[in-house]
Amino acid sequence: MIGRSLAGVLLGLTLAIALTGLAVLCWPGGSVRVLVPAVVVFFPLYMVLILAAFLYRTASRAWGWMALANLLAFAALWIAQRTLQGLPS
Amino acid sequence: MKAETRRRLTELHTWTGLIAGFALFIAFYAGALSVFHDEIDTWAVPHPPAVSTDLIARGDALMAKIVEEHPAARAQIGMTLPGDHPSHEVAVYWFDKDWHIQGLDDAKPRGEDDEREGLADFVYSLHYTLGIPELGIYLMGLVSIAYGVALLSGVLIHLPHLVQDLFALRPGRNLKRLWQDAHNVIGILSLPFHVIFAITGALICLMTVAMVAFNVMAFDGKLVPLEDSLTGASPTVTASKVQAPMLPPHVAVEKARAVALASGADGFDPDYMRYLQYGDRNAAVEVRGRSGKTLGEYGSVALSAVDGRVLGVQVTGARDANHATYAAIFGLHFGTFGGTAVKWLYFLLGLAGAFLFYSGNLLYIESRRKRRSADQPLKVRAMATATVGLCLGSCAAIAVTFCANLVAAASGFDATMIVKPVFFVALAAAFGWTLWRRPARAAVDLLWLTAALSLAVAIADIALHGLRVDSGGAALAVNITCIGMAVGFASLARATARRVQSGDTNSVWAVAG
């Protein structure tokens, strides 16, 4: 219970940020235009990811898959930050 | 869904409900009342001091004085505009490392958390902070997230039986079944409303925190500098260091209104304005106001603070996705998009929400009840005590606070000094009473007390001040609602008393012996 909760609360948080951040950076027609909608989407996504940690058969599976998803999402985010236009500075 | 998964989701639902349920009960009860914040405020201040007509001009003078004394305030200084309920304060807000506030009649500025709260403002702050200064709002943000998870898991658990049980409410010997049905039917029928609140509640409490997290983790520090432009209408302003006289507030407000109407907004009722780079040739002035016939009523117009040139318009019909979404978050949460009928709907759904959390706790107790013993396990007794002491206790404490406000106002005391302490003393007393009398008797006592106080406060108000037709019906509506609430609490008290007298004796709800 604790293991799964922590996986959802911690890894779900970073994953939700990475995924919404990625969607914003890839948004056709300019990232700035969808910043507030992205933050709105972030919260239900985070809630869903916390719940998702409870759908795995064991806590270690939840940690493993969510860590892997984080790794992929942050790798994609890293590439997107360096190749796409990003936010104006 | 596998039985194992369903069991885990049930456990998640129970725990998130336990963690968030009490805070949510208070938030929903106080929130339902706060739908009528302005009406309660009108009721609570029966003889409002005369409002002078030169408020905006005095605000203008105060801003000029403040930027002289605090040059850092030039970057951002604004004022709330006159409003139409009595404790609405016209005050100057500025940023100098921290937010500072100075009302027109204040001798010196105060900090952001040092807001004097009348009855309506206190009930509202109870709604989103539980009365906890500074950290309360973030706590409620976390509670909103737990609430969202509880909703999701609740729907998933109930999903296999959702359609067939939708209109099932089975009274009878099986109390757990009855409470389960009631919990499910309220939860499912008001689900869209709960989805809105879980998301907008989390957003309103945690938006700035989320922005900082995104700024660091996803956007290389480029998000925070943009934040103002996502919610306001003004572009970023840089000071030229050349001084210029400022457009006075009343001129800026009128100009902004004209610009908003010309952009297609249905009305524009300004409630806040601010200067950016006050006193500089590049300064901007931004006016925020409310329009009708839109989901998100708030919009803003930015003008040059020197010549009144339009710098940006973000009002309904003329705004981008960021501003439309931002305004919609508040519109959906506060129910300001549809007039009186929607406000009553929000009030009733708010009370139904409070009932949802209360029934969740009752369900916890009923499903862990020892059926063959008068002695109940500690966790069941503790849950019953906490549910009665905190949930019914806060209903009673709010009723006590309404009475205290009436007494204070009638005897010339400043009610803003007493409402908060009275509420917390009353809540502590209610909790102590629950510990002493045990939950079964205390529930009946507290429900009768709430009913009696609600009735008494309405009658006393009418006796002292008459029907107060001059308040546009607001005070009368509050009094009638108080009487309605008294009837509701009295019927709950009778039902609970019946349960205590004649229900199954092997329960925390029975009086032993």
Percent of chain B residues past pLDDT 70, beyond the cut: 99
B203/A50 touch (CB, cutoff 8 Å), yes or no: no
Distance from CA of B27 to the nearest CA of A (A): 19
Distance from CA of A38 to the nearest CA of B (A): 9
A40/B325 touch (CB, cutoff 8 Å), yes or no: yes
Q: Which residues of B touch A25 (CB under 8 A)?
A: 218
B218/A42 touch (CB, cutoff 8 Å), yes or no: no
pLDDT tens across B110-139, in order?
A: 887 666 789 999 999 999 999 998 899 999
Distance from CA of A51 to the nearest CA of B (A): 6
Helix axes B419-465, B474-502, angle to 10 degrees: 110
Q: Using an 8 Å Cβ cutoff, are B286 and B313 in contact?
A: no
Distance from CA of B367 to the nearest CA of A (A): 20
- pLDDT score, position B11: 95
Q: Whole-angstrom Cα distance, residue B23 to residue B17? A: 10
Q: Whole-angstrom Cα distance, residue B388 to residue B433? A: 10
* Element at B302 (helix H, strand E): strand B298-304
Which pLDDT band holds residue B513 (cuts at 50, 70, 90)? very low
Q: Which strands make up the sheet holding B98-103, listed edge to edge?
A: B110-111, B98-103, B91-96, B76-80, B266-276, B284-292, B298-304, B310-314
Q: Using an 8 Å Cβ cutoff, are B507 and B376 in contact?
A: yes
B222/A89 touch (CB, cutoff 8 Å), yes or no: yes
Q: Whole-angstrom Cα distance, residue B28 to residue B347? A: 9
With 80 as the cut, is the pLDDT of residue B25 above it?
A: yes
- Please name the member of B152, B202, B222 whose beta carbon is closest to the beta carbon of A51: B152
Q: Which of B24-33, B286-295, B362-371 has the lowest mean pLDDT?
A: B362-371
| B139-198 residues touching A, CB cutoff 8 A | 145, 148-149, 152-153, 156, 198
Is the sign of the CA dihedral B327, B333, B335, B336 positive or negative?
A: negative
Distance from CA of A18 to the nearest CA of B (A): 6
Q: Using an 8 Å Cβ cutoff, are B186 and B355 in contact?
A: yes
Distance from CA of B252 to the nearest CA of A (A): 28
CB contact B233 to A (< 8 Å): no
B226/A32 touch (CB, cutoff 8 Å), yes or no: yes
- pLDDT score, position B343: 96
What global pTM score does this model have? 0.95
- pLDDT score, position B150: 97
pLDDT tens across B426-458, in order?
A: 999 999 999 999 999 999 999 999 999 999 999
With 80 as the cut, is the pLDDT of residue B491 above it?
A: yes
At B252, is the secondary structure helix, strand, or coil?
A: helix
B149/A86 touch (CB, cutoff 8 Å), yes or no: no
Query: Is B484 or B164 the better-scoring residue by pLDDT?
Result: B484
Average confidence (pLDDT) over B312-321 = 94
At B243, is the secondary structure helix, strand, or coil?
A: strand
Q: Which residues of A touch B149 (CB under 8 A)?
A: 47, 50-51
CA dihedral B100, B103, B107, B113 (to 10 degrees): -40
Q: Using an 8 Å Cβ cutoff, are B334 and A49 in contact?
A: no
Nearest-by-CA chain B residue for A73 = B218
Q: Whole-angstrom Cα distance, residue A41 to residue A37? A: 6
Q: What is the ipTM of this complex?
A: 0.96
- The amino acid at residue B301 is V
CB contact B231 to A (< 8 Å): yes
Chosen from A4, A11, A43 to mutate, greatest number of chain B CBs within 10 A: A43
Residue with tokens 């546009």: B472
pLDDT tens across B346-362, in order?
A: 999 999 999 999 999 99
At B28, is the secondary structure helix, strand, or coil?
A: helix
With 80 as the cut, is the pLDDT of residue B487 above it?
A: yes
Which pLDDT band holds residue B512 (cuts at 50, 70, 90)? low
Q: Whole-angstrom Cα distance, residue B386 to residue A68? A: 41
Based on the number of CB atoms within 10 Å of its own CB, is B499 exposed (0-12), middle (13-18) or buried (19 or more)? middle
Q: Whole-angstrom Cα distance, residue B8 to residue B330? A: 34
With 60 as the cut, is the pLDDT of residue B306 above it?
A: yes
- pLDDT score, position B49: 82
Residue with tokens 């970057």: B75
B218/A33 touch (CB, cutoff 8 Å), yes or no: no
Q: Which of A33-37, B276-280, B371-375 has the lowest mean pLDDT?
A: B371-375
Percent of chain B residues past pLDDT 90, beyond the cut: 79
Based on the number of CB atoms within 10 Å of its own CB, is A87 exposed (0-12), middle (13-18) or buried (19 or more)? buried
Angle at B208 between CA A16 and CA A66, to 5 degrees: 15
- Please name the member of B198, B210, B226 whose beta carbon is closest to the beta carbon of A39: B210
CB contact B18 to A (< 8 Å): no
A40/B148 touch (CB, cutoff 8 Å), yes or no: no
B152/A39 touch (CB, cutoff 8 Å), yes or no: no
CB contact B8 to A (< 8 Å): yes
Q: Using an 8 Å Cβ cutoff, are B211 and A40 in contact?
A: no
Residue with tokens 């006050």: B278
Q: Which residues contact B402 (CB under 8 A, 6 or more apart)?
A: B119, B453, B454, B457, B482
B218/A87 touch (CB, cutoff 8 Å), yes or no: no
- pLDDT score, position B382: 95
- pLDDT score, position A15: 98
Residues B428-461, buried b or exposed e (16+ Cβ, 10 A)? eebbebbeebbbbbbbbbbbbbbbbbbbbbbeeb
Based on the number of CB atoms within 10 Å of its own CB, is A68 exposed (0-12), middle (13-18) or buried (19 or more)? exposed
- Please name the member of B8, B226, B231 whose beta carbon is closest to the beta carbon of A87: B226
Which pLDDT band holds residue B469 (cuts at 50, 70, 90)? confident
